[in-house]
Amino acid sequence: MNQQSSNAQASVILTGDRPTGPLHLGHFVGSLRNRVTYQDQYRQYIMLADAQALTDNMDDIGKVHRNVVEVALDYLAVGIDPAKSTILIQSQIPELAELTFYYLNLVTVSRLERNPTVKQEIVLRGFERDIPAGFLVYPASQAADITAFKASIVPVGEDQIPMIEQCNEIVRRFNRDAGRDILVECKAIVPEVGRLPGIDGKAKMSKSLGNTINLGASADEIRAAVKQVYTDPLHLKVSDPGHIEGNVAFTYLDAFDTDKAALAEMKAHYQRGGLGDSVVKKRLEGILQELIGPIRERREELAKDKGEVLRILKEGTFKAREVAAQTMDEVRKALGLSYF
């Protein structure tokens, strides 16, 4: 237990996901696993960013709704404890939209267009000139989410750091205009273990690329996925020396195998030749079955009572809304928009 947890005024951390599909091993490594640790150290808010997910899913209304409970099941199944973490649904806290509305006055169009994350995402999503305004302004929306809860820590991927910088610019501009420190600046923390590659060897495990292993995967699905895992295409015969770099089987073992000595031994053997992919994959499959099996079982158990999941989400959202409403109230007063 570190200093924060012994402190009544624990630091606030905000994290979350766009509920557009089931979560997978990439989420587990990049964030979920850390959240289970963070919830003992910080006051943790985990946001189901359904409103933000809509910015580029307006053509499939219903998809976001369906996935809110699914992602919540993933959270609970991996060990996020609603008694320690506050899980909230973004759209059910209107103050987040309201804060966004006011923050839009604190940021210029050209500044948003210069945001590297926004620029990159515009290319990724193929928007080009047809960028929905809601997408361009999402740094302001993200600033609203962070500041509503006065979060001082935000875990993000390397590529999201410019979003945090822009959030802090909004915070400083607001506090300067208001003449006092109402909003709190935040710090990005980038997880040590970076992005998990897809089973096909592509840099990112992603639902849209179809190269994931989901947290709800069945034993057969795990087996089939491991069979497809990209290894060393030059490693044709068992006796050939094999490569570790770019070999997804070993990348996954690095991420999940807790017996580091045995893994080092296996890597050396593979590199000098005489170790077949099937042996490596067998070890990997065993580890993934052991990791995902209990998650899947808890998930199936929890899924039997979706009413209970909704109750948890309602309670978390209600609790979070009280905090956001308090911030909104301070912001409204600072803007001179308080009358009655």
Q: Which residues bind its own copies (CB under 8 A)?
A: 50-51, 54-55, 58-59, 61-65, 68, 89, 91-92, 94-95, 97-98, 100-102, 104-110, 112, 129-137, 140-141, 177-178, 310, 313-314, 317, 328, 332, 334-340
In the complex, the smallest distance separating the C-beta of residue 44 from its own copies, rounded to whole angstroms, is: 21
In the complex, the smallest distance separating the C-beta of residue 104 from its own copies, rounded to whole angstroms, is: 4
Per the CB < 8 A criterion, the answer to whether 149 and 327 are in contact is: yes
Q: Please give the backbone phi and psi of residue 104, each rounded to the nearest 5 degrees, phi first.
A: -60, -20
In the complex, the smallest distance separating the C-beta of residue 159 from its own copies, rounded to whole angstroms, is: 21
Nearer to its own copies, 184 or 325 (CB): 325
Per the CB < 8 A criterion, the answer to whether 56 and 126 are in contact is: no
Which amino acid does the sequence have at 332?
A: R
Q: What angle is formed at CA 71 by the lines to CA 295 and CA 310, rounded to 5 degrees?
A: 105
Q: Provide Rg for the chain, Cα atoms.
A: 22
In the complex, the smallest distance separating the C-beta of residue 91 from its own copies, rounded to whole angstroms, is: 4
Using alpha carbons, select from 217, 220, 212 the residue that is nearest to residue 252.
212
Residue whose structure tokens are 């910088």 = 165
In the complex, the smallest distance separating the C-beta of residue 323 from its own copies, rounded to whole angstroms, is: 16
Dihedral sign for Cα 159, 160, 165, 166, please. positive
Hey, how many other C-beta atoms are within 10 angstroms of the C-beta on 277? 18
DSSP 8-state code for residue 92? G
Nearer to its own copies, 51 or 196 (CB): 51
Nearer to its own copies, 291 or 309 (CB): 309
d(C-alpha 71, C-alpha 20), whole Å: 9
d(C-alpha 340, C-alpha 337), whole Å: 10
Nearer to its own copies, 134 or 293 (CB): 134
Per the CB < 8 A criterion, the answer to whether 148 and 93 are in contact is: yes
Per the CB < 8 A criterion, the answer to whether 186 and 152 are in contact is: yes
Nearer to its own copies, 80 or 112 (CB): 112
d(C-alpha 13, C-alpha 232), whole Å: 40
Q: What angle is formed at CA 281 by the lines to CA 280 and CA 285, rounded to 5 degrees?
A: 125
In the complex, the smallest distance separating the C-beta of residue 110 from its own copies, rounded to whole angstroms, is: 5
In the complex, the smallest distance separating the C-beta of residue 149 from its own copies, rounded to whole angstroms, is: 18
Nearer to its own copies, 111 or 195 (CB): 111
Dihedral (Cα; 28, 31, 36, 39), 10-degree rounding: -160
In the complex, the smallest distance separating the C-beta of residue 139 from its own copies, rounded to whole angstroms, is: 9
Nearer to its own copies, 133 or 279 (CB): 133
Nearer to its own copies, 237 or 340 (CB): 340
